[in-house]
Amino acid sequence: MFNITHISFWIVFAALLFFTRKQRILWPLLALALLLLFNDIFTPGFFNLELREGHLYGTLIDILKHGGIVMLVSLGMTLVIATGGVDLSVGAVMAVAGAVLAQAAINHQSPFVAMIFALLVSLVLGAWNGLLVAGIGIQPIVATLILMVAGRGVAQLITEGQILNFTDATLVYIANGYLLGMPFTCTLVLVLLAVTYALTRGTALGLFIESVGDNDIASRYAGVNSRFVKFIAYVFAGFCAGLAGLVAASNIKSADANHAGLYAELDAILAVVIGGTALTGGRFYLLGSIVGALLIQTLTTTMYARNVSADIAPVPKALVVIAVCLLQSDKARRYFTRLFPRRNPPAAMTETLTAAAPKVEAGS
Amino acid sequence: MNRINPKYIPLAATALVMIALYVLGCVLYPNFTSPRVIVNLFGDNAFLGIAAVGATFVILSGGIDLSVGAVIAFIGIFIASMIASGMQPLVAIVLALVVGTVFGAVQGSLIRVFDLPPFLVTLGGMFFMRGMAFVVRQESLAIKHSFYQQTIRQLVIPLAPRVNIPFTAMCLIAVVVVATYVCVYTRFGRNVYAIGSSENSALLMGVPVGGTKIGIYALAGFFSALAGCVSTFYMQSGNPASFVGLELDAIAAVVVGGTLLTGGVGFVPGTLMGVLILGLIQTLITFQGNLNTWWTRIAIGVLLLLFIVLQKAIAGRGRA
């Protein structure tokens, strides 16, 4: 239990917690730390890492590898939620992207052409959502519900109701390959995270998204093209979902229109909310969403490691959803602070919360 | 004064689509005119209809309930295993209804007391109930009791020779009648509309927003549980893995039935028509024979799009 990698892991994690102690990301990180600590003590072999043929193996690596799909989806979802919307269709888009990929691969397209096809289709689907929300002005839940319902039908149409298998080495590499000893999925997530971060924080785009999410009308008066900003967010979410669809299809070397990306939208929304982005829109935290996705995957892996049946696994997840909701809720926070009074409330957090969710307190 | 109130236009459109689909079926397939088609339409979609009625109340109030499918699956396996362990079926059903109502009330309380988004709370509820269904039992369980195998099957109203209205269809019709009454003629119903139109205005007018909100989710939980009971009548078994995604069909039926997802506008009979439209699409595709089931999803998606755009157009005109 007390080997070098082990101790260094906890030292690094403790340092991480120390440096983020005044930021919102502290909470999901702390939850992750607690879950890992629980596993460290009670699940034997959870922290074992092995180096085989230059590739790292172990439960921790599995979490990174399998959490990749939710991480990719949640990056796009973060921006959509930040604009005050939500995208329910990401699971269906994943299924469509996987179906296009497999169908193209089976029809002897080169793997790169197949990937480009799949990503183009998911961009188009994202643009469709963006058009409904930003162009026609339909409520986001409703607008994306259409594609959520119809998308799986379209995916089945593409696969002709079959589960399409492919064997192309390049396509299989996406989810199963290793780069520099780590799963290739990690590289994919890191690149997408870096690009998203650069685009939103390096340019004014992130600020525009936050302003649209905070107050659509005010930002329009301030000269922000709020429709375009929303449109871009949905297109980007479509792209991320498509990328996740490629990984999901590559993972099982086939396209399964019925089960690919099932519940992906719910996991992604959960990851985003755990990460500290409020569902009401406004401030967003890309790194928080990644940590949220990691937390969800660690929870799932913990259940498997502790021999909890996969069917019962949703119950603890439900408790996490409610706990996270309560932590984010202004009202619940007030109840708790009344129960445990203290002198210095975390000012930064309550401020952002009240700013993100102004409530009329009539009646009280 | 003779102009039709715009809030009835979606309802009229729904009725038109329903009649058009039925006539289309009758023209294309001679067997479609059989009364059995209509009877089966009600009987086969009874649990979806009852769940959709519950969802109508939630959506009218401006909320959303994602836990429907999981609750139905849980209630199904719950009743099946209670009966298997020797409980009287009627006692099991009453117990199931109580469990469903309490579960809904807990969801409503979380939403109300802590101001949590309904979307996330009912998402948690969905995960919880789906998991609990598997805690009760890991695989499906047939119900072997004379009440199920004989009494329910004999509770039919003969309509024509060899065509009977099944008990499930009667349940659906009864639920729609009662729910319509509650929605239109009771104080609770009007409060639901008021909250859906504008929660703040309702609060300032003195509508008991808190109690009504908890009541709405408790009612939705009750209807979901009732749908679960009816599903056991229909399937004669309980299955923890069943009805995944049923909440989407319920929401789709509500929207196609002319209820605005923003809340405040809509009618329970419209939801019944929405359910029947989904059922008709399914039946048409079954009659067609060589079309695959995925066309159902696509057709429902297209219908959803049409109705949402129609609603948007009407809402836009109302504002102008």
Check B240 against A311: CB less than 8 A apart.
Answer: yes
Give B43-62 pLDDT, tens digit per residue.
889 999 999 999 999 999 98
Mean pLDDT for chain B overall: 87
Identify the pLDDT of residue A138.
83
Answer for the pair A213, A200: CB distance below 8 angstroms, yes or no: no
Give B183-218 pLDDT, tens digit per residue.
989 999 999 999 998 888 998 988 888 899 999 999
Low-confidence residues in chain A, pLDDT < 50: 1, 345, 347-364
Pick B312's closest partner by Cβ from A138, A152, A312.
A138
Answer for the pair B210, B112: CB distance below 8 angstroms, yes or no: yes
Check B121 against A141: CB less than 8 A apart.
Answer: no
Check B248 against A145: CB less than 8 A apart.
Answer: yes
Answer for the pair B97, B225: CB distance below 8 angstroms, yes or no: yes
Identify the pLDDT of residue A106.
86
Spell out the SS3 assignment of chain A: CCCHHHHHHHHHHHHHHHHCCCCCCHHHHHHHHHHHHHHHHHCCCCCCEEEECCEEEEHHHHHHHHHHHHHHHHHHHHHHHHCCCCCCCHHHHHHHHHHHHHHHHHCCCCHHHHHHHHHHHHHHHHHHHHHHHHHHCCCHHHHHHHHHHHHHHHHHHHHCCCCEECCCHHHHHHHHCEECCEEHHHHHHHHHHHHHHHHHHCCCHHHHHHHHHHCHHHHHHCCCCHHHHHHHHHHHHHHHHHHHHHHHHHHHCEECCCCCCCCHHHHHHHHHHHCCCCCCCCCCCHHHHHHHHHHHHHHHHHHHHCCCCCCCCHHHHHHHHHHHHHHHCHHHHHHHHHHCCCCCCCHHHHHHHHHHCCCCCCCC
Identify the pLDDT of residue A341.
62
More confident of the two residues B229 and A350: B229
Check B261 against A139: CB less than 8 A apart.
Answer: yes
Tell me the percentage of chain B whose pLDDT exceeds 90: 37
Identify the pLDDT of residue B155.
77
Check A314 against B312: CB less than 8 A apart.
Answer: no
Answer for the pair A141, A121: CB distance below 8 angstroms, yes or no: no
pLDDT surpassing 60 at residue B318: no
SS3 (DSSP) at B204: helix
Q: Which residues pair with A255 in a beta bridge?
A: A164
Give B122-135 pLDDT, tens digit per residue.
888 988 998 899 98
Check A321 against B302: CB less than 8 A apart.
Answer: no
- Dist. CA A245–CA A223, nearest whole Å: 36
pLDDT surpassing 80 at residue B26: yes
ipTM (interface pTM) = 0.77
- Chain A CB contacts of B64 below 8 Å: 141
Answer for the pair B110, A325: CB distance below 8 angstroms, yes or no: yes
Chain B residue closest in CA terms to A148 = B301
Check B64 against A149: CB less than 8 A apart.
Answer: no
Identify the pLDDT of residue A358.
47
Check A330 against B135: CB less than 8 A apart.
Answer: no
- Chain B CB contacts of A143 below 8 Å: 308
Check B115 against A141: CB less than 8 A apart.
Answer: no
Give A15-46 pLDDT, tens digit per residue.
888 777 777 777 788 888 888 888 888 877 77
In a domain, B226, yes or no: yes
In a domain, B252, yes or no: yes
- Dist. CA A226–CA A234, nearest whole Å: 13
Pick A321's closest partner by Cβ from B127, B204, B261.
B127
**The residue type at B286:** T
More confident of the two residues A52 and B63: B63
pLDDT surpassing 50 at residue B1: no
Identify the pLDDT of residue B315.
66
The radius of gyration computed from the CA coordinates of chain A, to the nearest angstrom, equals 21
Task: Work out the angle between the directed axes of helices A330-339 and A347-356 (0-180°, nearest 10).
Answer: 150
Identify the pLDDT of residue B186.
92
Check B124 against A319: CB less than 8 A apart.
Answer: yes
Spell out the SS3 assignment of B241-277: CCCCCHHHHHHHHHHHCCCCCCCCCCCHHHHHHHHHH
- Chain A CB contacts of B127 below 8 Å: 314-315, 317-318, 321
Identify the pLDDT of residue B96.
95
**Residue B24 lies in domain:** 6-319
- Chain A CB contacts of B121 below 8 Å: 321-322, 325
Pick A311's closest partner by Cβ from B115, B134, B252.
B134
Identify the pLDDT of residue B317.
59
Q: Which letter, b or e, does each residue of A252-286 get, where b requires 16 or more Cβ atoms within 10 Å of its Cβ?
A: bbbbbbeebbbbbbbbbbbbbbbbbbbbebbbbbb
Answer for the pair B41, B280: CB distance below 8 angstroms, yes or no: yes
- Dist. CA B54–CA A236, nearest whole Å: 35
Identify the pLDDT of residue A193.
94
Check B120 against A321: CB less than 8 A apart.
Answer: yes
pLDDT surpassing 90 at residue B106: yes
pLDDT band, residue B320 (cuts 50/70/90)? very low
SS3 (DSSP) at B238: strand
Pick from A80, A325, A361 the residue to mutate for testing the B interface (most B CBs within 10 Å): A325
Lowest-pLDDT range of A294-308, B85-99, B221-235: A294-308
In a domain, B1, yes or no: no
Pick B297's closest partner by Cβ from A152, A280, A362.
A152
Extract the tokens encoding A50: 């092995």
| Neighbouring C-beta atoms of residue A223, cutoff 10 Å | 7
Give B148-179 pLDDT, tens digit per residue.
777 777 777 777 777 788 888 999 999 999 99
CATH number, residue B34: 1.10.3470
Answer for the pair A192, A75: CB distance below 8 angstroms, yes or no: yes
- Dist. CA A231–CA A129, nearest whole Å: 8
- Dist. CA B4–CA B19, nearest whole Å: 20
Check A325 against B110: CB less than 8 A apart.
Answer: yes
Check B123 against A266: CB less than 8 A apart.
Answer: yes
- Dist. CA A325–CA A287, nearest whole Å: 19
**Of 1.10.10, 3.90.320, 1.20.1440, 1.10.3470, which CATH number belongs to A56-328?**
1.10.3470
Check B116 against A279: CB less than 8 A apart.
Answer: no
Q: Which residues pair with A178 in a beta bridge?
A: A183
- Chain A CB contacts of B118 below 8 Å: none
- Chain B CB contacts of A361 below 8 Å: none
Identify the pLDDT of residue A364.
35
Rounded to the nearest 5 degrees, what angle is found at the Cα of A141, between the Cα atoms of A311 and B54?
A: 65
Extract the tokens encoding A230: 């929303």
Check B121 against A359: CB less than 8 A apart.
Answer: no
Tokens 């996991």 map to which residue? Answer: A267
Give the gap in angstroms from C-alpha B127 to the nearest C-alpha of chain A.
Answer: 5
C-alpha B310, offset from chain centre: 22
Give the gap in angstroms from C-alpha B128 to the nearest C-alpha of chain A.
Answer: 4
Give A119-150 pLDDT, tens digit per residue.
999 999 999 999 999 988 888 888 888 888 88
Looking at residues B17-35, what average pLDDT do you find?
A: 87
- Chain A CB contacts of B113 below 8 Å: 331
Chain B residue closest in CA terms to A335 = B114
The ranges assigned to domains in chain A are 56-328
Answer for the pair A16, A23: CB distance below 8 angstroms, yes or no: no
- Dist. CA A181–CA B230, nearest whole Å: 55
DSSP secondary structure string for all residues of B92-113: HHHHHHHHHHHHHHHHHHHHHH
Check B131 against A317: CB less than 8 A apart.
Answer: yes
Count structural domains, chain B: 1
Chain B residue closest in CA terms to A263 = B245
- Chain A CB contacts of B116 below 8 Å: 325-326, 329, 332
Q: Which residues pair with A89 in a beta bridge?
A: none
Pick B123's closest partner by Cβ from A153, A157, A321.
A321
Identify the pLDDT of residue B316.
63
pLDDT band, residue B3 (cuts 50/70/90)? low
